[in-house]
Amino acid sequence: MKLYTYFRSSAAYRVRIALNLKGLSWDAMPVHLVRDGGQQNHADYKRLNPAGLVPCLETDDGHILTQSLAIIEYLDETCRAVPLLPADALQRAQVRALAYAVACDIHPINNLRVLRYLGDVLDIDAAPKAAWYRHWVELGLGTIEKMLNAHPDKGRFCHGDTPGMADCCLIPQVYNARRFNVNLDAMPIIRGIAETCESMPAFRAAAPENCPDAE
């Protein structure tokens, strides 16, 4: 399989973790989101993914899948050896809710294209733009800390003692939070899960600094 990816893309980072947890072999196809006016905007990439976003997965039989969580669900359905979702429907809903709390409630608001619009179109300076970023991350991760605190099946990971879809989403968001100096002191559960995940080869190999296109 080929994953169209950018080392700093947190959506691509999720899928890199999932591929590694599943033990699947894959090739990184770097798409540079800044260089050349953004390679994601080039016609050849937009033929693969009209959204002009990473990641995008090309399967071994040539199918193109977009949207990080759709890709992770697909990997989970087609490679059942290492499940990323629990078997029980209620527990699956709880894990998905944690994943979406990152993927719908934090990340889209702080995506590169949104930050660019704030600066380029709305003329927002660097300081209030950084405050915007931190606001949504602090609010969102604060909510997730409460969700995890109330989650009956929390273990060493978001759900139980094996990593899953929620961890695939949480760890890239924690990485970004640190990069933008968000204070995680009040989030001991998240910090503990991050520490556990970051000690695992599947997560470590997926980290931005370990990608072939890292700068």
Nearer to a second copy, 132 or 200 (CB): 132
Expressed in angstroms, the distance from the first to the final Cα of the chain is 24
Residue 16 φ then ψ, to 5°: -60, -45
Nearer to a second copy, 105 or 213 (CB): 105
Q: How far is the CB of 113 from a second copy (least distance, A)?
A: 9
Of 202, 131, 144, nearest to 173 by C-alpha is 144
Q: How far is the CB of 108 from a second copy (least distance, A)?
A: 4
Q: Find the helix or strand (DSSP H, E) in which 46 lies.
A: helix 43-48
Listed ranges 20-28, 34-42, 108-116, 156-164: which one lies at the site for a second copy (CB under 8 A) = 108-116
Of 41, 45, 77, 42, nearest to 64 by C-alpha is 45
Q: How many CB atoms lie within 10 A of CB 63?
A: 10
Contact pick of 1, 82, 143, 153 for a second copy (by CB under 8 A)? 143
- Residues of this chain that interact with a second copy (CB under 8 A) are 50-53, 59, 63, 65-67, 69-71, 73-74, 77-78, 89-90, 92-94, 96-97, 100-101, 103-105, 107-109, 114, 117-118, 121-122, 124, 128, 131-132, 135, 143, 146-147, 150
